[in-house]
Chain A
Amino acid sequence: MADDSKFKTPSEKTVKFLYDGVVAFYPDVAKEVFLLGKTTLPFHEAWGGFKRLEFLEFALNSTGTESIEEAAAAIRDWKEGRRLERTIPDKLDEMVARLEEQERLSREKGQKAASAYEKQKLAKDALLESQRAKETVPAPVSPAVEAPTASPEEVLAVGVKTTVEPGHFVQKVVNKTVSLPLRTAISLAYPAIKESVGPAPATAMLLWAKGVPSQKLEGKAVALPSKEAKKFDELVKAIKGIESGRSLQTRILQASFRIKDVTLLLGPDTGLTQAQVSLFFNPPETGGVAAIPHQSFFGNLVSRAGQQLFGKLASRAVKAIATKAGLAIAGEAVGTAAGTEAGAAVGAAAGGPAAPVTAIIGAVLGWLASKIPDLISWLKRNAKEFGVAAAGLLAAGVFFRNPFLLVAGLGVGGIALGAGGLQSAGMAAAGAVQGVLAGITGMLLPSIAVPVLVSLVAVPVVVALILFIINSGAYIVPPSPSSLYGAIESPYIGIEKTASPECMHRAGCPGFGPVTYHVKIWAKKGTLTNISIKNEYEIISRTNPPFTPPSVPEIDSPPDFISPTRAYEFTYTLTVGPSLDNSIVSDTITVTADAPGQNGALASQSAAVIVGNPPVSCPLPGGQSQPIHWSYHPGNESGGHGSNDYWRRMGGSSCRYSLPQGANCYGPTNGGNVCSNQSSTCDFYGYAMDVFPSGNTQVFAPTVRGQAVTWSYQGGFSNASAGQTFIYRSGSYYLVLTHLSPGAATGGSIQSGQRIGQLFPQGGNTHLHIEFSVSGRYVRPEDYFCR
C-alpha cells in the first residue's frame, strides 16, 4: 500500500471532481452510494478528459480502494468531511487545479472549454504522476501509464472540422431537426456499438450519421504521420462500406448536412475548443480509431432527455438494438441494394412521370415495403429491446416536436391497431405507409422533400413501436413451461418429491428392487383449482434401455382443489431391474393450477435414482450446452464466456465479475475485447462453461475425460441470489461448480458418479456453471466434461 505520508486532506474541488466523475461514469453506483434518489443519470463514455476505465483507475488509485463502490463510498465520506486521515496524493489536487486553470485560460481566450485532447493529456499526466507516487510494482507496459511526453512515436489525436454549404438558415434548422432520430440513436448507442464492433467501425458510423462524405475525407490522410494515416485510411474505407450498403440513407444524410469541406486538425495544436470540432479521434490504443462524440449542449440535452424519459431500460435497449444495427450496417449491403432497386420500381408506379424527388420517395417506399416483412421477423426475435428503443426514439421526436415523426407514428399506429396481430399489422402498416406516402408525393414541394425523406427513415422504427405495443402482452405473460429448465418454483404451488432409495446396485446401496416416490403438493397462498399433474421420466444411460413408466392414479386423476390447510400427498413405486443398470432415472413432476393470484400457475420438482455406474462425464447428466455457453477464445467475440457477445447478453456493466469467478481475472490479455483494458487480466480469461438441465437437476461428481476419480470438498462461497459455489479437488484437478442449492456434499471422499447436490432454481436461468483447473492453470471445461 502507499505511504500515508504522501497523502493529505483533499481539496473540496478535487473531491467534487471525483464525485462528478462517479456520477458521470457510474450513474448506478452514484445513485446508490450518493443517495441521489430517483434521478436517472446519463452515462458518459468520456468526461472531464477521461475515458471510463481511466477514471476508474484514477478513482481507485486516489481512494486506495478495490472497487468503484468502495471508491464512491470514500468520496462520499470526504465530501461529508469524514475519513480525512487517509486521502489522496498532492498530485491529484494539482491536476484538478491545472484542469481548472486550463479551463479558465480557455475562457479568457474566448473559447468555451479545453479540447478533449488537452483534458485527456492533462489527466494522463496526472495519472502517471500518481502512479509514481505509489509503491514500486512490476513495470508492465500498459497503455494506461504510457509516458505522455511528446515523441516522434506518439499517436496524435485527430479532429475533424466540417464546413457546411451556405444555405438558408431555416433549411439548415429543418434538416438538422429531421435527421435527429438517427443521430440520436447513434449517439445514444455509440458506446455499445463501439464495444460490439470495435472503435473504428463505430467511429465510421458516427461520421456517416453526421453526413460526412467519405470522398471529402479521401486524400486527407497525407497530412498525417504514417501511423495515423493508416488508421485514417481504414476509417475512410469503413465509411465507404456503409455508404455503399446504405446508399439511399447516405444521400439523405449528406443532403441534410450539406458538408462542403472537411479539415483535419492535429491535437493538441488545434487551437479549437471541443464545441468547434465535430469530433476527436482518440489515439488508437486498442488498434482502432475511437471517436469522442461531439458533446454540444444540444447533444447532451438529447442524451439526457432520452435517459430521463426511459431510464436504464431504454438505455440498455437502445444499446442492444443499435449494436445489432451497427453489425447489420457492416454486412447488409447486398440486401439493401436489392431493396432499393425494387423500391425504385414501386416508386415509378406510384409517382408516375413526376419530378426526381417523387422517384426518390418511391424508392424509399419500396425499400420500406421490402424491409417490413424482414423487420417483423427480426422483431419477433428482438421485440423487447427494439420496442423500447423505438419508444425512446419516438420520445425524442416528441420532445423536439418533429411533426413528421408524430404524423407517421400516429397514422401507422391507428392502422396497425385496427389490423391486429403481429403479421397482419405489419403488412397493413407497410401497405398503409406506401399508400399514404404515395398520395403525399404529389403534394410535396421540393423545399421540404429532403426533410420528409429523412423522417421516412424513422418510419420503420415507429412501425416497430406500434407492433411492440400491440404484441407486448406476449412478452408479459409467463413463458411456457417448455422454455424453462429443471425445478420451477412458484409462489402459489409447493412441491416436495423424494425417492427412496436414491441409489441401487452400487456400493453402499441396496440391489435392484422397488423405488418408492413420495410426492407432496400444497397451496402456498390460496386454494388451488383446475389442477393438472404431469410426470415425465428421463433415463440417462449409455444405452437406450426400454422403460415403461408406472401408472399413478393420483397423477392421472388429480383432486378438484388443494387448500392451504391440507396438502395433497401420495406415494407410488417404480420397480428397477437390470435393464436400468448403469443409468440415472430422473423424473420430474409438474403441477399446473389456478391460484387466487394467477391462472395457470406452474411448479415442478425432480427426483433422481442412480443405478449402478451411470455415465457422469457431465456433472449435470443429460444437460445441454451450446458453444456460446463455453469458454472464450481470444479474437472470437461472438460467443463464449467473457466475449463481447456474452456481456451484451448478460446486460448491465461489462466486466463486472471475474471469469473464471474467484480468479481475479477481469479481462483477456489480447485486445479487441470489451474487458481488454481491465487492470487484472489473464490468459485463461473466460474459461468456463454452462450446462442447462433438460429435466434432471441433480448434480453428480463427474469423471474426467471418462476416468473415474475421487473428489474431496475444498471450500465454497455464496453467490447471493444465484445459489452457491462448491469447489472439489482431485489431485491436481480443481472443479468449481456454481449455482448449486445449499446443502451439497462437503465431506469425505466423493467418487465419480456420486450425487453432489442439486441445481439452484433460477427459473429460465437455471444452469450449472463449471470451471476447471489442472496443475494450477485453468483450462476450458468443455474439453473435459459434457462433450
Chain B
Amino acid sequence: MKAFLKKYRFVILLIAIFLLIAAFLLVKKNQSPAPSPTPTPTPLQLVQFYPSQGEQEIAVPLVALAYTFSTPVDSSTANIIISPFVGFELSTDASGKILYITPTAEWKYDTLYKVTITISSKEGVTLSTPVEHSFLFKKVSKSNFDENWAL
C-alpha cells in the first residue's frame, strides 16, 4: 500500500485537486445568486442656475439658460415650459449635469419670462419639486467695467 501510494502520489494528488474543483463548481452552481443590495438612488437637486432670478441687465440677448444639477440628467425626460413662449433647444454638457436651454431667437428685453422644469436623472430620480425660474432682461445702460492693467 505504501509503495502504491508512493508510486502514484502525483496521480492521486491531481485527482484530489480535480475532485475538489469539481465539488466547488458544483456547489457554486447550485447556490442561488446572493441578493445584491438595492442601490439607493441619489436624490436629484438643482445646484446652480444661470441667469439669476429676477431683473438684470444683459448685453447679449441671445443667451442660453443653464441649470446645474447634483447628478447627471436625462434630457429626454425634461418637460420645460417657458412663458411667454419661445422656441428653444436642449443640450447638456459633457458631465450631463448641466442642462442648457438655448432659445432659437433673442430674449426680448423688458419681458418677464417664467421657466418651469421637471426632469429626471439618469438614475431615474425625478426632481421632487419642479424648478420655477423667472427672469427679466434689461438693456445695459452703463457699465462699471473699469479694468486697469496699468495699476
Q: Which residues does A use to contact B, with CB under 8 Å?
A: 1, 136-141, 629, 649-651, 656-658, 660-665, 669, 679-683, 690, 692, 714-715, 717-722, 725, 727, 732, 734, 736, 738, 762-765, 767, 769, 773, 775-778
Give chain A residues whose Cβ lies under 8 Å from the Cβ of B121: none
Give chain B residues whose Cβ lies under 8 Å from the Cβ of A665: 50
Separation of A734 and B67 alpha carbons in the complex (Å): 22
Separation of A190 and B101 alpha carbons in the complex (Å): 42
Separation of A727 and B140 alpha carbons in the complex (Å): 11
Q: Are A773 and B131 in contact (CB under 8 A)?
A: no
Give chain A residues whose Cβ lies under 8 Å from the Cβ of B132: 136-138
Q: Are A664 and B70 in contact (CB under 8 A)?
A: no
Q: Are B144 and A656 in contact (CB under 8 A)?
A: yes
Give chain B residues whose Cβ lies under 8 Å from the Cβ of A656: 144
Q: Give the shortest distance, in Å, between B86 (CB) and chain A (any CB).
A: 12
Give chain B residues whose Cβ lies under 8 Å from the Cβ of A717: 59, 139-143
Separation of A778 and B102 alpha carbons in the complex (Å): 12
Partner of B46, one of A139, A680, A720: A139
Given contacts A141-B45, A776-B63, contact A649 B50 (CB under 8 A): no
Partner of A662, one of B58, B68, B102, B129: B58
Q: Are B60 and A661 in contact (CB under 8 A)?
A: no
Within 8 A of A (CB), among B109-151: 129, 131-133, 139-151
Q: Give the shortest distance, in Å, between B58 (CB) and chain A (any CB).
A: 6
Give chain B residues whose Cβ lies under 8 Å from the Cβ of A719: 142-143, 145-146
Q: Are A683 and B98 in contact (CB under 8 A)?
A: yes
Question: What are 11 A-B interface contacts by the 8 Å CB criterion?
Answer: A138-B67, A662-B143, A669-B68, A683-B98, A690-B149, A692-B149, A715-B139, A732-B62, A738-B143, A738-B145, A765-B150
Q: Give the shortest distance, in Å, between B116 (CB) and chain A (any CB).
A: 10
Q: Are A657 and B145 in contact (CB under 8 A)?
A: yes
Q: Give the shortest distance, in Å, between B143 (CB) and chain A (any CB).
A: 5
Separation of A773 and B64 alpha carbons in the complex (Å): 10
Q: Are B51 and A664 in contact (CB under 8 A)?
A: yes
Q: Are B145 and A722 in contact (CB under 8 A)?
A: yes
Partner of A734, one of B45, B62, B141: B62
Interface string of B47-66 (1 = CB under 8 A from A): 11111111011111011101
Within 8 A of A (CB), among B86-108: 93, 98, 100, 102-103
Given contacts A663-B58, A775-B102, A776-B103, contact A718 B145 (CB under 8 A): no
Given contacts A661-B59, A776-B64, contact A769 B146 (CB under 8 A): no
Q: Are B133 and A138 in contact (CB under 8 A)?
A: yes
Give chain B residues whose Cβ lies under 8 Å from the Cβ of A692: 149
Q: Are B142 and A651 in contact (CB under 8 A)?
A: no
Q: Are B49 and A138 in contact (CB under 8 A)?
A: yes
Within 8 A of A (CB), among B26-82: 45-54, 56-60, 62-64, 66-68, 70
Q: Are B52 and A679 in contact (CB under 8 A)?
A: yes
Q: Give the shortest distance, in Å, between B54 (CB) and chain A (any CB).
A: 8
Give chain A residues whose Cβ lies under 8 Å from the Cβ of B46: 138-141
Q: Give the shortest distance, in Å, between B67 (CB) and chain A (any CB).
A: 8
Q: Give the shortest distance, in Å, between B83 (CB) and chain A (any CB).
A: 16
Q: Give the shortest distance, in Å, between A534 (CB) and chain B (any CB).
A: 23
Q: Are A769 and B59 in contact (CB under 8 A)?
A: no
Give chain B residues whose Cβ lies under 8 Å from the Cβ of A683: 50, 66, 68, 93, 98
Give chain B residues whose Cβ lies under 8 Å from the Cβ of A764: 149-150
Given contacts A136-B132, A717-B141, contact A650 B151 (CB under 8 A): yes
Q: Give the shortest distance, in Å, between A632 (CB) and chain B (any CB).
A: 13
Q: Are A718 and B142 in contact (CB under 8 A)?
A: yes
Q: Are B56 and A664 in contact (CB under 8 A)?
A: yes
Separation of A137 and B141 alpha carbons in the complex (Å): 27
Q: Are A662 and B59 in contact (CB under 8 A)?
A: yes
Partner of B146, one of A139, A657, A658, A725: A657
Number of B residues whose C-beta is below 8 Å from A? Answer: 44
Given contacts A137-B53, A139-B46, A662-B58, contact A767 B133 (CB under 8 A): no
Given contacts A682-B66, A719-B143, A738-B145, contact A763 B150 (CB under 8 A): yes
Q: Give the shortest distance, in Å, between A310 (CB) and chain B (any CB).
A: 17
Give chain A residues whose Cβ lies under 8 Å from the Cβ of B93: 683
Residue of A nearest to B103 (CB): A776
Give chain A residues whose Cβ lies under 8 Å from the Cβ of B58: 662-664
Given contacts A773-B62, A776-B62, A777-B100, contact A138 B131 (CB under 8 A): yes
Give chain A residues whose Cβ lies under 8 Å from the Cβ of B49: 138, 140
Q: Are A680 and B52 in contact (CB under 8 A)?
A: yes
Separation of A149 and B17 alpha carbons in the complex (Å): 62
Kindly list 17 other residue pairs between chains A and B, CB separation below 8 angstroms, not including A138-B132, A762-B148, A775-B102. A138-B49, A138-B67, A138-B131, A140-B47, A141-B45, A649-B149, A661-B145, A662-B58, A663-B59, A664-B52, A680-B56, A718-B143, A722-B145, A725-B145, A775-B62, A776-B63, A776-B103
Give chain A residues whose Cβ lies under 8 Å from the Cβ of B64: 775-777
Q: Give the shortest distance, in Å, between A136 (CB) and chain B (any CB).
A: 6
Give chain B residues whose Cβ lies under 8 Å from the Cβ of A725: 59, 140, 143, 145
Residue of B nearest to A681 (CB): B48
Given contacts A649-B151, A651-B151, contact A722 B51 (CB under 8 A): no
Give chain B residues whose Cβ lies under 8 Å from the Cβ of A763: 150
Separation of A764 and B151 alpha carbons in the complex (Å): 9
Given contacts A718-B143, A736-B59, contact A140 B48 (CB under 8 A): yes
Separation of A764 and B150 alpha carbons in the complex (Å): 6
Give chain A residues whose Cβ lies under 8 Å from the Cβ of B145: 657-658, 661, 719, 722, 725, 738, 769
Partner of A765, one of B54, B56, B149: B149
Most chain A CB inside 10 Å of its own CB: which residue of B51, B60, B147, B148: B147
Q: Are A139 and B100 in contact (CB under 8 A)?
A: no
Q: Give the shortest distance, in Å, between A530 (CB) and chain B (any CB).
A: 27
Most chain B CB inside 10 Å of its own CB: which residue of A1, A139, A669, A722: A139
Give chain B residues whose Cβ lies under 8 Å from the Cβ of A736: 59-60
Give chain A residues whose Cβ lies under 8 Å from the Cβ of B147: 650, 657, 690, 722, 769
Separation of A765 and B45 alpha carbons in the complex (Å): 44
Residue of B nearest to A67 (CB): B144
Give chain A residues whose Cβ lies under 8 Å from the Cβ of B98: 683
Q: Give the shortest distance, in Å, between B62 (CB) and chain A (any CB).
A: 5
Separation of A738 and B146 alpha carbons in the complex (Å): 10
Give chain B residues whose Cβ lies under 8 Å from the Cβ of A661: 59, 143, 145
Residue of A nearest to B70 (CB): A141
Separation of A664 and B145 alpha carbons in the complex (Å): 12
Give chain B residues whose Cβ lies under 8 Å from the Cβ of A658: 145
Most chain A CB inside 10 Å of its own CB: which residue of B57, B58, B102: B57
Q: Are B151 and A682 in contact (CB under 8 A)?
A: no
Q: Are B140 and A662 in contact (CB under 8 A)?
A: yes
Give chain A residues whose Cβ lies under 8 Å from the Cβ of B143: 657, 661-662, 717-720, 725, 738
Separation of A621 and B133 alpha carbons in the complex (Å): 43
Given contacts A664-B51, A680-B52, contact A722 B59 (CB under 8 A): no
Residue of B nearest to A775 (CB): B102
Separation of A682 and B67 alpha carbons in the complex (Å): 10
Q: Give the shortest distance, in Å, between B146 (CB) and chain A (any CB).
A: 5
Give chain B residues whose Cβ lies under 8 Å from the Cβ of A721: 146
Q: Give the shortest distance, in Å, between A192 (CB) and chain B (any CB).
A: 15
Q: Are B51 and A680 in contact (CB under 8 A)?
A: yes
Q: Give the shortest distance, in Å, between A468 (CB) and chain B (any CB).
A: 17
Nearest first, the 10 closest Cβ-Cβ pairs linking A and B are A662-B59, A764-B150, A776-B64, A765-B150, A680-B52, A661-B145, A682-B50, A664-B56, A776-B102, A662-B140
Separation of A762 and B143 alpha carbons in the complex (Å): 17
Give chain A residues whose Cβ lies under 8 Å from the Cβ of B63: 663, 773, 776-777
Separation of A776 and B86 alpha carbons in the complex (Å): 14
Given contacts A665-B50, A681-B50, contact A650 B140 (CB under 8 A): no
Separation of A722 and B144 alpha carbons in the complex (Å): 9
Residue of A nearest to B67 (CB): A138
Q: Are A734 and B149 in contact (CB under 8 A)?
A: no
Q: Give the shortest distance, in Å, between A73 (CB) and chain B (any CB).
A: 16
Give chain A residues whose Cβ lies under 8 Å from the Cβ of B54: 1
Separation of A679 and B151 alpha carbons in the complex (Å): 28
